[in-house]
Structure 1
């Protein structure tokens, strides 16, 4: 059999010598360019605190002028998590590991250290606990954040507290009431003093016992909805 033997491919003929020459040329290119056969894979997005821009509602320290509108201008409700450098761990640090089940945002880091609240973490918490339906933010009661931390201390840092519902704007609260969700007309969610949570691997009844033992506010157990309501209002249970 001579070199004129032909290979049929898509109705065309390619000589053996031509095929061998093509492979030899491709091998030479691969040797010269090590990444010639490499396939670009998407990079895994690192975890970190949610990013903030200059137009985000700031977390206000006591005595500071509050954000008059609470609205995030030009922002869509769907927010992609942006990795940033987490604050350093300082003296007497108190850490939280939070995850918003609706937006996929995470906050994991110290919210208190060196005798003061960490502003960037508090802004992250305020933003991730916003009303994602109306895309509005509201200052979250620091006592509520401390209550979340007390629960975090009992379950450990490796398990996130999943945020089911944080701040609710009046319009969202009324919409849920009209839809028959059993929402209170003057809910503590509307003033940033209530949050609904769940924790993977924990029953709502377990979380309820933890929160009731602390006696720091209201505790509502919603086994059918698989979440626990906690607030910083008067001590009461339902």
Structure 2
């Protein structure tokens, strides 16, 4: 399932840094998962089908999926595309008028379905309550899968920030691109940004440091990794189903 959808690499080593060139303290290992190729989710048709069941259901599904996954994985969604566009506008303002015309800024707002435009003041608990009402509806398989993801990600992944801040320049590479339709503005922004994503040293998607001689530390590291795998297996099972909608 994972190799069909995303490129992850697991390593357990006694060194750290972008090139593994600095040893950790004696008796300690680093367990990490790096992402070098993200998954792809075209969610627009699935959300439209959910909105037909009840107004607001598609929006609740989208937001709960994003909020849940962000606790464990780096995503690329419409908010990232909007941030990229904002950077383009700032860069364009510093150019002369002729050079500004060379900047292509995709219409991210126009790519969003109408029911996702505007401010949504609901919280995760509100999304869950609405979604649970449809556990026996036509899209119950999607609903149950999302609720399992929300449960698995309830406790966030906690990587050692002191190591991350010391040895990596940037946040993890995205594990999943979420767009609404093939080649829409979100996908276009991702394609443009992806050309420079490998220029920095990115922190791992999952990271734990443990001592093999300390059973509690080792157990915590591998239980965390097991949960990471469970989240991803549930996620990409759902992704494959939604991409067929």
Asked if these proteins are the same fold (TM beyond 0.5), I'd say no
Which category describes the TM-score, using the shorter chain as reference length?
under 0.3
Bigger helix fraction: 2
